[in-house]
Amino acid sequence: MQISVQSSGALERDMRVEIPEEKITTQVQKRLKSLVKTTRLQGFRPGKVPLKLIQQRFGSQVRQEVVGELVQSSFYDAIVQEKLRPAGSPHIDQLDSEQGQGIVYTAKFEVMPEFELGKIEELKVEKPVCEITENDIDKMIEVLRKQRQELNDVDRQAIMDDVVDIDFKGTIDGEPFEGSEANHFKAVLGQKQLIDGFEDGLIGKKAGDEVSLKLVFPEDYQVKELAGKAVEFQIKINSVQEPVLAELNDSFFVNFGVKEGGLAAFRKEILSHMQRESDMKNRNKFKDSVMAALHEANSVDLPKTLVDKAIQDLQKQFDDTVKSQGLDVDAETITKQGPLFEEQGRKRVALQLILAELIRKHALKADPAKVRAMIEKNAASYEDPSAIINWYYNDKKNLAEIESLTLEDEVIDLIAERARLTEMKLTFDECMNKGQTETD
């Protein structure tokens, strides 16, 4: 087999492969002889069909099969011999396999880039640190009490935070519109879930009252047909309910697994839970910071094959997300998302290559114990965790995904040990990216 390789770009390669006719003939004859033993033709006993007749009938087909297989196997042998690392499947060009002339073809493909990693010790990475205060715990307990609050009917005027059960009808220029009418709708006063003025118009009213409100839909209202239009609502108040927070007692504590120790043990359990949640969030924030630093510190030539695949994956992910919300993906939306998909795709491929090189350079391995722990954690939320665990271990592809995630964690730990870290102090709510301890 003769091989010659030419570069047609930074990563593009044209590899010409020549396979002698003798190799094809040997394979073809071997297969034809095996067909003699199994082929049944009228007028011949099994295994007695002449080889010449087998060749006349099946020779062309067998040669075509052998050529296809030799092209595949020879390409693999050639890249191993030339120490090439393809970034994707080759495009076979100029294939010539004329009888008696052997096989000649050119494989066009991209190779994985070779690059020098930036020094980990020079990376600057922010590491979030979260301090949970007693006040944070107090606020979280109030959230939990509110989540388990009861609603009691009251015979008084509605005030902020009350839940008001109403029937309403809305009209625009005297005509109803889609969604303009509802019975026993529960409005939580002060939540700002309804258009401006609606909740305010219910404050001070009692069960049995009827209210007329003239309001205007906001200009950026999600239903374009209603945006900016004047609307009139006729409202009947069925009941007013007052929220009553759950009491801090042993019965309440048991809901959180605290069976003894009272309030002190409950606060300790809440602190432990908040710490786990903030640690997980901070780990993700730190990982994002590490990835951003690695991407900025390393310049990598990106194989177009891998970038195109990443963009396709992002496109599909976007489509699936939109469709899961019951919406359609139109061509205009796809066009607008195009530049974002490309940017994200290029960054994803760059980081994959950088991580792979870090793993290779530092000989990192997926720790079986950590792989098992991650699988068990994923399985814990299912009804039959053992079945999920077996599902991972019985499929190499599923297991490889977890091993890949574990290796990513190994990279993060390596950088945490060697990079130049700057602590970024955050409150609990800042750690969680949302008002975890907000009661309103």
Predicted confidence (pLDDT) per residue in 174-220, tens digit:
999 988 999 999 999 998 889 999 999 999 999 999 999 999 999 99
Quick one: tokens of 131? 């301090």
pLDDT higher than threshold 70 for residue 426: yes
**pLDDT (0 to 100) of residue 126:** 93
pLDDT higher than threshold 60 for residue 37: yes
What is the band of 310 on the pLDDT scale with cuts at 50, 70, 90?
A: very high
**pLDDT (0 to 100) of residue 99:** 86
What is the band of 11 on the pLDDT scale with cuts at 50, 70, 90?
A: very high
**pLDDT (0 to 100) of residue 436:** 57
**pLDDT (0 to 100) of residue 33:** 87
- Specify the CATH number for 252-432; select among 3.40.190.10, 1.10.3120.10, 3.40.718.10, 1.10.3720.10: 1.10.3120.10
Q: What is the mean pLDDT of residues 345-350?
A: 96
SS3 251: helix
**pLDDT (0 to 100) of residue 171:** 96
What's the whole-number average pLDDT of the chain? 91
Higher-pLDDT residue of 162, 335? 162
CATH number for the domain whose boundaries are 2-110? 3.30.70.1050
The CA distance from 105 to 177, in Å, is: 68
What is the C-alpha end-to-end distance of the chain, expressed in Å? 75
pLDDT higher than threshold 80 for residue 329: no
Q: What is the mean pLDDT of residues 75-86?
A: 95
**pLDDT (0 to 100) of residue 249:** 95
Q: What is the mean pLDDT of residues 31-45?
A: 81
Q: What is the mean pLDDT of residues 82-98?
A: 91
Q: What is the mean pLDDT of residues 116-123?
A: 94
The CA distance from 208 to 21, in Å, is: 97
Q: What is the mean pLDDT of residues 337-349?
A: 92
Q: Which is nearest to 165 in space by CA: 147, 143, 182?
A: 182
pLDDT higher than threshold 80 for residue 309: yes
Query: Which residue ranges make up each domain of the chain?
Result: 2-110, 150-244, 252-432
Using a CB cutoff of 8 Å and minimum separation of 24, what contacts does 377-386 make? 378/402
pLDDT higher than threshold 90 for residue 5: yes
pLDDT in tens, 228-264: 999 999 999 999 999 999 999 999 999 999 999 999 9
User: Domain 150-244's class?
Assistant: alpha beta
Question: What count of other Cβ atoms lies within 10 Å of the Cβ of residue 74?
Answer: 19
Residue 169 has phi, psi (to 5 degrees) of: -135, 135
What is the band of 297 on the pLDDT scale with cuts at 50, 70, 90?
A: very high
If you count DSSP H runs as helices and E runs as strands, how many of each does the chain have, helices first? 11, 11
pLDDT higher than threshold 90 for residue 72: yes
What is the band of 98 on the pLDDT scale with cuts at 50, 70, 90?
A: confident
pLDDT higher than threshold 80 for residue 319: yes
DSSP lists the bridge partners of residue 103 as 19
Share of the chain above pLDDT 90, in %: 78
**pLDDT (0 to 100) of residue 241:** 96
Q: Tokens 């239903």: give the residue.
A: 223
Residue-level length of the chain: 440
The CA distance from 338 to 187, in Å, is: 41
